[in-house]
């Protein structure tokens, strides 16, 4: 028979749940930062072709990701208990809507580094009794979440999972591992348009090349005018060749070899600068004074 419910005890549980949620979030951020550094180290090992060392060390990354997922589940359970705190005060026994969350926290708290979660476990044991805690610890009735039990198991990761992690890390950091894997599918199709020949895009050209069926003379003339306009190109000396400038991102821990791609094709920044229009020098006489005839011609052009 569990002890009677005390309002003070429920208040303590609510306070410790809030502290546990804050601690779980902080630990998740810390583990994510450490995982980024570990992934970058794995990419360097693969780039140096130290595959055996990478396969051993990547298990630490897998285990860290599993613990992070466990913390996310426990955080959700703490938020659930906090939202349903009224059910804790209503009855001295555990409500069926809280049983999975309560027993999962009691089962997982001793196996984590979160001290606030262990305090919550102690308070829940004080509320529901020793028999309830023993039942949750041994999971005799199977009420503990299956995901929590699985993530707390100590079985080594499968070879397929290790291989998948290494390939994903290599892809994220631009490392060609396994060698030639990125070339098995061949070159990507060319979807980019030729800026010099057809700046308006290939779609409009394909539409114009299709046979015109049941189109009156006015529509045909309009389509012909659009075709002439699409084929017209500005002079090469007028501004840059393309108004689009692509600047690659700066290197970061997530991507040590940043690239900018469009439809699987790498884009590069234009290196050619626009050529300024050459200005015609003014003819001068021997004393450095411009010719009067030349100035007259220029004024006449300006009046036009």
* pLDDT tens sequence across 266-299: 666 554 444 444 444 544 454 555 566 776 777 6
Task: Give the tokens for residue 256.
Answer: 């040590």
Percent of all residues in the chain with a pLDDT value above 70, rounded to a whole number: 62
pLDDT at 232: 62
pLDDT at 39: 93
| 17 has pLDDT over 70 | yes
pLDDT at 204: 46
Average pLDDT over every residue of 138-156: 93
Distance between CA 165 and CA 61 in Å, rounded? Answer: 9
* Contact (CB, 8 A) for 20 and 117: yes
pLDDT at 250: 53
Q: Taking all residues of the chain, what is their mean pLDDT, rounded to a whole number?
A: 77
* pLDDT tens sequence across 212-253: 444 456 666 777 777 776 666 555 554 455 555 556 665 443
Distance between CA 172 and CA 39 in Å, rounded? Answer: 9
Query: Count of CB atoms within 10 A of residue 143's CB?
Result: 17
Determine which of 17-21, 51-55, 113-117, 257-261 has the lowest per-residue pLDDT on average. 257-261
Identify the residue with better confidence: 165 or 238.
Answer: 165
Reported pTM = 0.59
pLDDT at 179: 77
Distance between CA 264 and CA 183 in Å, rounded? Answer: 12
| 260 has pLDDT over 50 | yes
Average pLDDT over every residue of 142-152: 94
pLDDT at 92: 85
* Dihedral sign, Cα of residue 142, residue 146, residue 151, residue 156: positive
Determine which of 5-19, 29-43, 260-274 has the lowest per-residue pLDDT on average. 260-274
| 191 has pLDDT over 50 | no
Average pLDDT over every residue of 106-118: 95
């Amino acid at each position: 028979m569990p002890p009677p419910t005390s309002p003070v005890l429920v208040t303590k549980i609510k306070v410790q749940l809030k502290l546990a949620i804050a601690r779980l979030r902080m630990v998740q951020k810390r583990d994510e930062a450490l995982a980024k550094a570990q992934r970058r180290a794995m990419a360097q090992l693969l780039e140096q072709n130290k595959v055996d060392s990478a396969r051993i060390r990547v298990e630490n990354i897998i285990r860290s990701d599993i613990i992070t997922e466990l913390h996310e589940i426990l955080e959700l359970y703490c938020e659930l208990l906090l939202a349903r705190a009224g059910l804790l005060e209503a009855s001295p026994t555990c409500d069926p809507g809280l049983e999975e969350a309560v027993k999962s926290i009691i089962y997982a708290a001793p196996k984590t580094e979160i001290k606030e979660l262990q305090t919550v476990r102690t308070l829940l044991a004080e509320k529901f009794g020793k028999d309830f805690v023993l039942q949750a610890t041994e999971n005799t009735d199977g009420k503990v979440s299956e995901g929590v039990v699985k993530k707390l198991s100590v079985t080594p990761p499968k070879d397929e999972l290790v291989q998948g992690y290494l390939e994903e890390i290599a892809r994220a950091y631009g490392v060609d591992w396994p060698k030639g894997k990125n070339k098995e599918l061949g070159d990507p199709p060319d979807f980019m348009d030729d800026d010099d020949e057809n700046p308006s895009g290939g779609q409009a050209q394909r539409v114009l090349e299709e046979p015109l069926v049941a189109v009156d003379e006015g529509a045909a003339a309009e389509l012909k005018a659009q075709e002439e306009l699409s084929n017209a190109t500005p002079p090469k000396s007028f501004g840059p060749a393309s108004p689009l400038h692509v600047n690659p991102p700066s290197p970061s821990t997530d991507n040590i070899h940043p690239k900018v791609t469009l439809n699987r094709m790498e884009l590069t920044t234009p290196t050619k600068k626009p050529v300024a229009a050459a200005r015609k020098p003014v003819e001068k006489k021997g004393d450095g004074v411009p010719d009067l005839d030349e100035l007259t011609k220029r004024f006449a052009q300006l009046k036009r």
